[in-house]
Amino acid sequence: MIDDFAKDCLHGRLKGIREALLWKLDGLSEYDIRRPLTATGTNLLGLVKHMATLEAWYFGEVFGRPSPDALGRWQDADGSDLWVTPGETREQIIGFYQRAWGHADATIQALPLDAPGHVPWWSRSDVKLFAIMIHVLQETTRHAGHADILREQLDGRTGVRPEYEEQIDTVAREAYRAKIERAAQEGAGGSRHAGLSDTHGA
């Protein structure tokens, strides 16, 4: 009973955060979902592609249930799952992610939490389904958080679900940000640039 409850709880959280990650693409241009928005190249559609690949590997290969989508070998991973080529469409990447969900969901439903798996790229490679569910939920939540920040940078939209999204109040946001800026300056000794690291101080 406890195992069933735990699996249902983790699975429900994973389903919800998957949808939140996809929602971050809603209404954006092809350029904005693809373009690098950090110094390391992080981009919205690339995050979706990465999570599709990750779910396909962890809920497929790890449990001897290969994904129906062709995947590169983990040994050959080169970061290409983190960005989207000009020939890959939004629809293709979303479709890949949703098929990965379906395959992952089937694995989760078919196996008990203590089902054994093998992750050859981990130092402790023998695992259980429970550990993989925790790992994938953690990774999805982490990257959905990245997507939150990227989307806010683009057009100010925030939140995890469309039904909870609030109208943007630019005046209130600017006042709130200014309040935090003043507190930061005072905490740094009053100087506008006091304490800035070398990488951000220029």
Instruction: For 146-188, write each residue's pLDDT tens digit.
Output: 999 999 999 998 888 777 778 898 999 999 999 999 999 999 9
The whole-model pTM stands at: 0.89
- 142 shares a domain with 52: yes
Percent of the chain at pLDDT > 70 equals 94
Cβ atoms of 12 and 57 within 8 Å: the answer is no
My answer on whether 103 and 32 are in the same domain is: yes
List of residues 6+ apart from 177 with CB closer than 8 A = none
Give the integer Cα–Cα distance in Å for 149 and 158: 8
Domain count, the chain: 2
| Whether 97 and 193 share a structural domain | no
Q: Are residues 88 and 177 in the same domain?
A: no
Does 175 lie in the same domain as 160?
Answer: no
Confidence grade of residue 202 (pLDDT, cut at 50, 70, 90) = very low
Considering the domain architecture, whether residues 143 and 184 belong to the same structural domain is answered as no
User: DSSP character for 57?
Assistant: H
Residues 194, 153 share a domain: no
Same domain (yes/no): 145, 199:
no
Residues 177 and 152 in one domain: no
Q: What is the mean pLDDT of the chain?
A: 91
pLDDT for 196 equals 63
Q: What is the pLDDT of residues 54-68, one digit of tens each?
A: 999 999 999 999 988
Boundaries of domain holding 185: 169-202
CA distance 25 to 27: 6
Residues 106, 42: one domain? yes
Residue 39 and residue 133 in one domain: yes
- Amino acid in position 144: A
For 128, the token pair is: 């259980």
Is the domain of 155 the same as that of 197?
no
